[in-house]
Amino acid sequence: MKFLDLARVTIRSGSGGNGCISFRREKFIEYGGPDGGDGGDGGDVWAEAVEGLNTLIDFRYQQHFFAKNGQPGMGRQRTGKDGDDIVLRVPVGTEILDEDEETVIADLTEVGQRVCLARGGNGGFGNLHFKSSTNQAPRRANPGQPGVEREIWLRLKLIADAGLLGLPNAGKSTFLAATSNARPKIADYPFTTLHPNLGVVGVDGAEFVMADIPGLIEGAHEGRGIGDRFLGHVERCSVLLHLVDGTSEDVAADWQTIITELEAYGGELAFKPRITALNKIDALDDEERAERIAALEAVAGPVLAMSGVSREGLTEVLRAVRAKIEKDRKLARDADKEDEPWRP
C-alpha cells in the first residue's frame, strides 16, 4: 500500500429541508387548518479515528465528501426525514487543519475519537408551526438552512515512542531492521527510505514503537532532498535517537547538520530528549573509534557506540531509549494526576 500523509478534501454538510405549506381538507370535517410539517435537518460531516489504518491513501482517490440533505416537510403534519451523516475514517494520529494549513481544527490521537467538521442545516418550519389564536391559517413556511462547505487538510503524524534521525545512509533502516520485525528497504545509496517506517522494538521484556523517517540533508527546511515534511512523524515521540555515521570524515559536522535542521523546523522538536549514537563502528578500528567518539562528544555530549550490522552495542542503546520513554510516561502520568479533580 502506498504511503500518503497529507491530503486535501472538500466536505459539505447537508442542507435542511424546506417547511411545508399545507391545509387539512377532509370530507365531513368542518374545520380544517394548517398541517404543514417541518423539514428534516441536513446531515453532519464527522471525522473519526479508527484502527487498522496507517496512511491517508484512500483520500487520494476520493476528495469530496457530501452529507445528505434533509427532506422537505409534508402535509398531514409529517416532518421530513433527516439527512444521513457522513464519516471520514482516518488513522490514529491524524491532524485536521483548516484551509490555511496552519489552524488545527482537531487532533485525533486515540481510537474512537470523533469530531464534527460541518453541521447540517436546520430544517425549516412548516405553516403548522406558525398557527396562533390570531392567525388561524398561516400561509408561510421557512426554507431549510443551507449546509456548510469547506476545504480541509488531513495530515498524518505517526504515533511512536521513539524516532530515528540522521543523514541519509546513517544506518537508520538497518538499525530498525536489526531491532524489530520491520523490513524497510536497505541499500547503499542516499534516500533509500522514501516514507516513514514503524517497528515494534523489544528490550528487557518491554516493548515500544520506533519510527524511521527519510534522512535529512543540509537545507532540508528549504525543501532540499526530500525536505523536512516527514519530521512531523517524530513530533509525538518521547525521545529522538540521533544516529551518526561513524565512517564519515567529520562526524561533528554531520551531527550539527541535523541539529540545525531541527531548529529551523521549529516547534518543540529541537528540545525533545535526544540520544546520540555513533553507528557503523564495525567498520572502524579501535583508534578510529576513540577518535570519532571524542570528536562527537565534544559537540553532542555523551555518545553511545553501536553497529546495526554486527549488533554491537544495540542493547545498550535500546536500554537508554527505553529509560527516556519510561521517564516521559511517568511525567505524563503525574501531570494527569494533578489535573484530576479532588475526591474525598
Binding-site residues sit at 166-173, 191-195, 212-215, 279-282, 307-309
Q: Mark residue 222 as left, alpha or beta (left: phi above 0; alpha: psi -120 to 50; beta: remaining).
A: alpha
Q: And the C-alpha cell for 203?
A: 528490550
Q: Which residues contact 233 (CB under 8 A, 6 or more apart)?
A: 5, 156, 157, 158, 160, 163, 196, 211, 213
Strand order of the sheet with strand 94-97? 64-66, 6-12, 149-156, 94-97, 104-108
How many angstroms separate the most distant Cα atoms in the chain? 110
Distance CA 306, CA 92 (A): 33
Provide the CA 216 distance to its chain's centre, in angstroms: 21
Distance CA 303, CA 317 (A): 10
Contact between 82 and 43 (Cβ < 8 Å)? yes
Q: Which residues contact 239 (CB under 8 A, 6 or more apart)?
A: 161, 162, 163, 272, 273, 274, 275, 321, 324, 325, 328
Q: And the C-alpha cell for 91?
A: 488513522
The binding site for Mg(2+) comprises: 173, 193
The binding site for GTP comprises: 166-173, 191-195, 212-215, 279-282, 307-309
Return the H-helix or E-strand segment holding 275: strand 274-279
- Beta-bridge partners for 91: 50
- Beta-bridge partners for 149: 12
